[in-house]
Amino acid sequence: DAGVIQSPRHEVTEMGQEVTLRCKPISGHNSLFWYRQTMMRGLELLIYFNNNVPIDDSGMPEDRFSAKMPNASFSTLKIQPSEPRDSAVYFCASTWGGGSYNEQFFGPGTRLTVL
Amino acid sequence: QQQVKQSPQSLIVQKGGISIINCAYENTAFDYFPWYQQFPGKGPALLIAIRPDVSEKKEGRFTISFNKSAKQFSLHIMDSQPGDSATYFCAAGGGNKLTFGTGTQLKVEL
């Protein structure tokens, strides 16, 4: 069992550049979550997909952020243009079922640094 | 808007001691309260969870205490060990998603 796979593990970019983070959920899981972790705000839910459909994107900070899930085994989170305040660790998590009651399995995260 | 408040932000406990982390929530629609444990460089992982129909749940050295009327719940780690040193997140769920607290960095010293 490979678990949730995220790439890249580390990303350093300059302000204004486009950043794309990638996630492969656990096979068979049909719900996928993108979170952002910072010291000040902890873990924040950005967007949640169920059966590849975005269900709740109320946590997406602004229009610079976008997320897609073209199929059950792949999702991307894109930031364009990136800003220094976007620096954080971004986690992808997956689970089976659409509710909050099932254990969410987190990937190892992508540490993003925007200079 | 912080719907789940967690304290303390950091905690140092001696080996063998009891670690206590507290959380409070606002939304009475929440009906699932998990705790996640995160080691450095790793993603969070589910540790223990409770539903509001019980006031306590124990799994090994880890216990959740739940006070529905006060809208508070806490994690107790008995006989804390250096291997318990990690960041702990409480969360509250209702519907489709979880709302996490800001985390507590626990360090267990020898």
At A18-75, the pLDDT tens digits run 999 999 999 999 999 999 999 888 899 999 999 999 999 999 988 999 999 999 999 9
Query: Which residue does chain A place closest to B30, by CA atoms?
Result: A100
Q: Is a pLDDT exceeding 70 seen at residue B2?
A: no
Strand-by-strand arrangement of the B19-25 sheet: B4-7, B19-25, B72-77, B62-67, B56-59
Across the range B56-82, mean pLDDT stands at 97
Q: Other C-beta atoms within 10 Å of A30: how many?
A: 15
Determine, for residues A106 and B41 on separate chains, whether the beta-carbon distance falls below 8 Å.
no
Per-residue pLDDT band for B23 (boundaries 50, 70, 90) equals very high
Per-residue pLDDT band for B83 (boundaries 50, 70, 90) equals very high
pLDDT at residue A1 in the model: 64
Hey, of B97, B100, B104, B105, which one would you mutate to test binding to chain A, going by the most A CBs within 10 A of its CB?
A: B97
DSSP string for residues in A28-75: T--EEEEEEEETTTEEEEEEEEETTEEEE-TT--STTEEEEEEETTEE
d(CA B107, CA A6): 28
Picking from B45, B99, B84, B47, the residue whose alpha carbon sits closest to that of residue A3 is B45
Determine, for residues B44 and A4 on separate chains, whether the beta-carbon distance falls below 8 Å.
no
Across the range B45-68, mean pLDDT stands at 95
Hey, of A100, A102, A103, A106, which one would you mutate to test binding to chain B, going by the most B CBs within 10 A of its CB?
A: A100
Q: Is a pLDDT exceeding 60 seen at residue B3?
A: yes
Picking from A39, A31, A92, A82, the residue whose alpha carbon sits closest to that of residue A61 is A82
Q: Is a pLDDT exceeding 60 seen at residue B1?
A: no
Determine, for residues B95 and A100 on separate chains, whether the beta-carbon distance falls below 8 Å.
yes
d(CA A86, CA A99): 28
pLDDT digits (tens, 9 = 90+) for A72-101: 999 999 999 999 999 999 999 999 986 678
